[in-house]
Amino acid sequence: MLFKKSAELPTAETALPGRAEALATDENHFVSGNPLKGPYPDGFETAIFGMGCFWGVERIFWSLPGVWVTSAGYSGGITPNPTYEETCTGRTGHTEVVKVVFDPKVITYAELLKAFWENHDPTQGMRQGNDVGTTYRSAIYTLNAEQQAEAEASRDAYQAALTAAGRGTITTEIEPAGEYFYAEAYHQGYLAKNPAGYCGIGGTGVVCPIGVGVEA
C-alpha cells in the first residue's frame, strides 16, 4: 500500500512520517560545477518553481543566462526529507520543484516567471501532460512578500492571455515557501547526465505578457 498513488493531498495525520536525516545528494551541479547548497555569491536571490517532472524543469532554468545554480527537490508538503518513491505516492504532500539561484543584475524574477508560465501548462490541476498526480502540480513557492506579489500579478496577466486564447483557468499554487528538501543525487542535473532521458515539459504556446523575452 505504501506505493499506491493518491490523487488527493494528505493531512498531517495521513502523511508519511519521513526521516530526520537529509537525503544524500550531489555536492556540486553537474553542469555549472557550482555548489548546490551554497555558499552562494552575495546579492544573489533564490526562486522555487514546480512545473511537472523536475528533470526537464531544471534544464530550462540552468540554461538561462544569470542563473548560477539549480537543484531538483521537493517542497509544498508535510513529510520531512521524503524520498522520490515516497513523494510519488502522493502521501508526502510535496510537488517536484526546482530551486533556482540567480543574479538579479543579469536576470530578473519577472524573467524567471515568464519562463515558468511559458514552459508548462498551468491549467491542469494535479498533473502535467502524461504525468498524473499531486507531485506534478504547478506551483510557485515565494521567498518574500515582493516575490509573492510579483508571482500573483504575473498569474493574473497570464490568465488574461490564456483566456484570450481560449485556454482554461490557472490552477498554480502560489504560496510562501516552506522547507525545501534536495532530491537524491541521481535526479540532480538529470538530463545532462542522461541526454536521452525523459522530458515531459511542454508549454501552451501562449506568450506571457510580462518581463522581456527569455529563450528557454
Q: Count the alpha carbons within 13 Å of 180 in the hemisphere toward its beta carbon.
A: 23
pLDDT in tens, 92-148: 999 999 999 999 999 999 999 999 999 999 999 999 989 999 999 999 999 999 999
Q: Is 78 helix (H, G, I), strand (E, B) or coil?
A: coil
* Residue 211: per-residue pLDDT: 52
113 neighbors 150 (Cβ within 8 angstroms) = yes
> In the structure, how many helices (H) and strands (E) does the chain have?
5, 8
- First CA to last CA across the chain, in angstroms? 39
Q: Is 28 helix (H, G, I), strand (E, B) or coil?
A: strand
pLDDT in tens, 16-41: 999 999 999 999 999 999 999 999 99
Query: Does 213 score more than 70 pLDDT?
Result: no
Q: Is 53 a catalytic residue?
A: yes
Q: Count the alpha carbons within 13 Å of 48 in the hemisphere toward its beta carbon.
A: 25
C-alpha cell at 131: 504525468
pLDDT in tens, 52-88: 999 999 999 999 999 999 999 999 999 999 999 999 9
CA distance 24 to 75: 17
C-alpha cell at 203: 508549454
Residue type, 134: T
Range 213-216, long-range pairs (CB < 8 A, 24+ positions): 213/114, 214/64, 214/107, 214/111, 214/112, 214/114, 214/115, 214/118, 215/64, 216/60, 216/63, 216/64, 216/115, 216/118, 216/119
Q: Which of 53, 88, 199, 208 is catalytic?
A: 53
- CB burial class (10 A; 0-12, 13-18, 19+) of residue 196? exposed
Instruction: Output the pTM of the full model.
Output: 0.93
